[in-house]
Amino acid sequence: MENQQATELLEKYEKGLCTPQERAIVETWFTKELAKHNLVSADIDYESKEAEIYRNLPHSAKYRHLRPRLIAAVAASVLILLTAGFYFFTTYTTRQEQERAIAQLKPGSDKAILTLSDGKKIVLNDSGNGTLSEKKNVRIIKNKSGDITFQNTGSGTPGQEAASNTLSIPRGGQWHIVLADGTHVWLNSASSLTFPDVFNGARREVFLSGEASFEVAADKQHPFIVHSRLQETEVLGTHFNINSYIDEPFVVTTVMSGKVRVSGGRGSLVLNPDQQCLSSGETFHSRTVKAEDAVAWRHNLFQFSGADIYTVMRQFARWYDVDVEFRGRFQKNQFTGRISRGVAASEVFGMLRRYGITVKVENRKVIVSGAE
């Protein structure tokens, strides 16, 4: 609060226009500060205001032996205290607003939309358990755990082209699906998978946008192919994870078990367990990693080993469905550890503050600030 505003409050007091709360502030602080007379301001005419405040004080508080200059000094103290009081009130209000804004940032949950080949859309998190749809060659079932299974009924015509379906996961969502060949797929937030009702051809092919973890049913005669941004991943039977979000600098493929071949651009690369491929579209780079970090999201965890703030916040943004703005400079590769994806956003922000990073929330935008 500016001194002018405090002056206006004193003028309201003199004219008898204060609210009961404003009057109490002036009189209480005046009484408490009578003995402090070392603060004088030349910016306000206290000679008229001091007498008005003094006249309105309770009789027991009227120290008639005080000199006018002392009362003027006390009035200056009141002004300063009023200014400080309004400053702290404003700060407190801002803090409350931040707490309310942060409380609105909820962690993600199971949410997905299944679009069938005929265009029908099923909101899976709102649908009941049991059979969701049945076609000539496949039955789509939702079990008690919420998992979706495409059950091959074998009633279709051999060799016919299978119809395609798309499972779409919004920001702040995730889902698990079992394809017709028995392959398990876990999709992370802001991702989608396009796949056939049944696999009829020589290759089992699916198309991924975003991130998914696969446990592929073994079938040496029919390799499983995942088409994603910048690359193609071929497996026979294995457990692996592909992160192909468009806002990530690389497409990252990590193998938990078995073996995969990643192809694209100018060549290919074979990965074994605990190996990871970083693909830029033109080149591949492999490295040894803790494969569990790549699939921690499946176990409702954020887990990092030497990650930078940008990596951390990209994951946070997708799961809590927010936008992120970065300001200032940040240390590289400073985050190692794990935290539940089910915690309140305030806990994540508390972790960041321990690293010297400040966070401010404006609606659904998170402003992350480092060193200037």
Residue-wise pLDDT for 340-356, tens only, equals 999 999 999 998 988 88
Task: Specify the pLDDT at position 64.
Answer: 46
Among 16-20, 123-127, 244-248, 253-257, the minimum mean pLDDT is found in 16-20
* Burial of 234 per CB tally in 10 Å (0-12, 13-18, 19+): middle
* pLDDT for residue 56 is more than 90: no
Among 15-19, 174-178, 249-253, 291-295, the minimum mean pLDDT is found in 15-19
* pLDDT for residue 320 is more than 50: yes
* Domain parsing of the chain, residue ranges: 3-103, 113-294, 300-369
Task: Specify the pLDDT at position 52.
Answer: 53
pLDDT digits (tens, 9 = 90+) for 209-218: 999 999 999 9
Task: Specify the pLDDT at position 217.
Answer: 94
Q: What is the rounded distance in angstroms from the CA atom of residue 214 to the CA atom of residue 40?
A: 74
pLDDT digits (tens, 9 = 90+) for 257-276: 999 999 987 788 999 999 99
- Residues 146-169: what's their mean pLDDT? 80
Q: Which is nearest to 207 in space by CA: 197, 217, 193?
A: 193
Q: Which is nearest to 312 in space by CA: 283, 348, 279?
A: 348
DSSP letter string, 143-173: -TT--EEEEE-S-S-TTPPPPEEEEEE-TT-
Q: What is the rounded distance in angstroms from the CA atom of residue 4 to the CA atom of residue 42?
A: 13
Q: What whole-number percentage of the chain has pLDDT above 90? A: 54
Task: Specify the pLDDT at position 37.
Answer: 44
Residue 100, SS3 per DSSP: helix
pLDDT band at 79 (very low <50, low <70, confident <90, very high): low
Task: Specify the pLDDT at position 53.
Answer: 54
* pLDDT for residue 97 is more than 90: no
Q: Which residues does residue 186 pair with via DSSP β-bridges, in sequence order? A: 176, 213
Among 86-90, 95-99, 322-326, 361-365, the minimum mean pLDDT is found in 86-90
pLDDT band at 3 (very low <50, low <70, confident <90, very high): low
- Residues 95-108: what's their mean pLDDT? 84
- Residues 151-165: what's their mean pLDDT? 72
Task: Specify the pLDDT at position 1.
Answer: 44
Of residues 173 and 83, more confidence is placed in: 173
Task: Specify the pLDDT at position 78.
Answer: 55
Task: Specify the pLDDT at position 70.
Answer: 44
Q: What whole-number percentage of the chain has pLDDT above 70? A: 75
Calculate Rg over the CA atoms of the chain.
Answer: 33
Q: Which is nearest to 165 in space by CA: 189, 142, 131, 133?
A: 133
Contact 125, 131 (CB under 8 A): no
Is CATH 3.55.50.30 the right assignment for the domain spanning 300-369? yes
Rounded mean pLDDT of the chain?
82
What is the reported pTM? 0.73
Contact 195, 179 (CB under 8 A): yes
Of residues 340 and 64, more confidence is placed in: 340
CATH number of the domain located at residue range(s) 113-294 in this protein = 2.60.120.1440
* Burial of 60 per CB tally in 10 Å (0-12, 13-18, 19+): exposed
pLDDT band at 14 (very low <50, low <70, confident <90, very high): low
Which tokens in the block code for residue 318? 């997708």
* pLDDT for residue 140 is more than 80: yes
